[in-house]
Amino acid sequence: MQDFFFIAFPYIALTLAVCVGLYRYFSHRFTYSSLSSQLLEKRQLFWGSVPWHYGITLILIAHLLPWIFPGAARTVLGNQTRLAVLELTGIALGLYCVFGIAALITRRLPNDSRARAVTSPMDWILLLVLAYQVLSGVGIALFERWGAAWYLSTAVPWLRSLASLRPDAATVTGLPVFIQSHFISGFVVILLFPFTRLVHVFAIPLEYLWRPYQVVIWNRDPQLPQLPVLHQIAASPRPIPLNPSEVQRRQLLTRLGVLVGGISAAIVGIPSLAFLLGLRKVPEVWRSLGAADSFQIGQTVEVSFLDSTPLPWSGVTAKTAAWLRREGPEQFVAFSINCTHLGCPVRWLPNANLFMCPCHGGVFYKDGTVASGPPPKPLATYPVRLRDGMVEILTTPLPITTV
C-alpha cells in the first residue's frame, strides 16, 4: 500500500497532469486561464487572492529549493538560528495562506454570491484540497517541528528518487500518517492540475513584468529606410499577381515542403543522433591483479588492469590504474586514482602515508578519506575480491563526482 501511495500514485498523478495538460492545451487552449471572477465582486477577492498567491508562491519555492539543492539547504539549515528564522517565516507565510484560502472559500459561500454562481464542482474540490494542503502544512510546522530540517532526509531523497526514475520510498514510509497525508494530498493537487483552473499557473502573463507600460500604435508605417547594399540583390522582379486559389495552392505547397523536409531530416538525423548518444553498455568483468602474496600487508602500490572490452585501437589507453592497499591477510582495498575534485591522478606518498593530487593540492589519508584541500568526497574504490590466491578487481566505470 505504501508503494502505491508513494511510488505508483505520484507517477500516475504526474503522467496524467502532463498528458491531460498537453491535451487540454492543444485542444481547448482558451481554457488555460483562471476564469477570473474579479468583475463580479472585487473587495473580497483582494483579501483572498493576494495573501494566497504571495504566500503560496514563496512556500512553493521554499519546498522546491532544498529539493533541487539539498547540499546548500543542509548548509543553510546547519545553524540553529537560521533554522528557527526559516521555520518562523514558514509558519507566518502558511498562516497568511490559510487566511487567504479561507477568504477565497467564504466569498463563494453565500447563496446570493455572484461568485458562487460561477463556481463549478471542480472548483470546490480544488479549494478543499488546497485548504487541506495548507492546513496540514501549518499543522506539521506547529506540531512536528523543524520540518525544514527533517524534510531534507525524508521527503527530499524520496522526491529525488522519483525524479531520477529510481523510486525509493524507504525514507518516507515510516513517517506519521499525518505527515504522509500532506505528501499525498500534494500529489493530488498535481493530479488536479489539468482538470481545474490551476492550469492558469502556466498561463501567467509574465511578460507584463518587462513589457513597456504603454504601446504606441502608429497609424502609418514609419518610412522604410533604404538598405545599404543588398537591396540591389534583393530587388527581385515584380511579384506575380495571384488569384485566391493560387494563394491556397502555394500555402499547401509550402506546408508540404516543410513537412517532407522535416521527415527527411528526421530520417537522417535521428539515427545519427542515436549513434552519437548510443553509449555501449560495457560489461563489468573481474581482472586479475596478481597473486595475493605479492602484496605486502600495510602497503599501497599502483596496479594496472585492462578495461573490460578494450578496443583494438585503444593502445595504452585501454589500461586503467588503481592504488591497491593490502590491509590484512584477506583484506584488500583498491582506490581509484582519480581525485574526486576534478579527476586528476592522485599520487601515493609512501613515507607520509598520504595521497596527494598535483592539480589543486587535494590530500587523502591512506584509507581514502579527505585530509585537506578541495576534494568533496573520499577517493572512490573498486570492488576487489580474493579468488584462488589471486587478487581480482571489477572494472567499474571511471568515477565521476556528481552534485
| Residue numbers at the binding site for another protein (CB under 8 A) | 68, 71, 75, 163-164, 222-223, 225-230, 232-233, 277, 279-280, 282, 302, 304, 307-308, 310-321, 337-338, 341-347, 349, 351-354, 356, 358-361, 363, 365, 371-374, 376, 395-398, 400-403
Nearest approach in angstroms of CB 230 to another protein is 5
**φ, ψ dihedrals at 128, nearest 5°:** -70, -45
Residue 60 or 352: the one with the smaller Cβ distance to another protein is: 352
Residue 254 or 372: the one with the smaller Cβ distance to another protein is: 372
Nearest approach in angstroms of CB 332 to another protein is 18
Residue 1 or 279: the one with the smaller Cβ distance to another protein is: 279
Nearest approach in angstroms of CB 33 to another protein is 28
Residue 247 or 349: the one with the smaller Cβ distance to another protein is: 349
**φ, ψ dihedrals at 338, nearest 5°:** -85, 120
**φ, ψ dihedrals at 212, nearest 5°:** -60, 145
Contact criterion met (CB below 8 Å) for 59 and 94: yes
Dig out the grid coordinates for 39 from the structure.
Answer: 468583475
Contact criterion met (CB below 8 Å) for 339 and 362: yes
DSSP state of 238: P
CA pair distance 196, 123, nearest whole angstrom? 7
Partnered with residue 381 across adjacent β-strands are 335
Contact criterion met (CB below 8 Å) for 395 and 287: yes
Residue 62 or 356: the one with the smaller Cβ distance to another protein is: 356
Contact criterion met (CB below 8 Å) for 211 and 202: no
Residue 245 or 351: the one with the smaller Cβ distance to another protein is: 351
Percentages helix, strand, coil for the chain (3-state, rounded to 5) are 50, 15, 35
Nearest approach in angstroms of CB 284 to another protein is 8
Contact criterion met (CB below 8 Å) for 53 and 59: no
H/E segment holding residue 365: strand 363-365
Residue 144 or 307: the one with the smaller Cβ distance to another protein is: 307
CA pair distance 26, 50, nearest whole angstrom? 30
Contact criterion met (CB below 8 Å) for 134 and 56: yes
AA identity, residue 344: C
Residue 108 or 366: the one with the smaller Cβ distance to another protein is: 366
What is the radius of gyration, based on Cα positions, of the chain? 32
Residue-level length of the chain: 403
* Residue from 133, 9, 15 nearest 1 by CA: 9
Residue 118 or 306: the one with the smaller Cβ distance to another protein is: 306
Nearest approach in angstroms of CB 223 to another protein is 6
Nearest approach in angstroms of CB 304 to another protein is 4
